[in-house]
Amino acid sequence: MTMENKFDTVQDLEQYLNEHTDLCMLREHWNKVTAEEASVLFSKEKKETGTADTSQNEIDAKNHYLEEINHFLQEDVKISSMTFLGYRRKPHAWAIADAIKEYEKGKNNATD
């Protein structure tokens, strides 16, 4: 994977995280933040409609994160403190993307 490419699906990202044992903490963080996001989405949907679908909210949470991670993989962005304080997903998505970039950079330096 090069940083010009992005993960096409959540399954692509999860497979990447599972294939690299050095990224086990990142995989744990991914699982934690997507579960938290799914819970937030579930609560919002339940409040707004009176009913909610747990599995659909889990899918939506992962897709929201995937979109932001892909953005941060493709763009050289350093988030500001206000972004960190004001957004729920963005800081985590940036951190995951940044960790993947650093991992890939380290792999490439090791093979040079």
What are 15-33's pLDDT values in tens digits? 999 999 999 999 999 999 9
- Identify the residue with better confidence: 4 or 8: 8
Report the pLDDT value the prediction gives residue 111, as an integer from 0 to 100: 62
The pTM score is 0.90
Tokens of 106: 């380290």
Across 45-66, average pLDDT = 97
Return the DSSP state at 23.
G
CA angle 111, 75, 39 (to 5 degrees): 105
Lookup: tokens for 8: 């096409």
- SS3 for 41? helix
Residue with tokens 């659909």: 56
**Spans of all domains in the chain:** 10-111
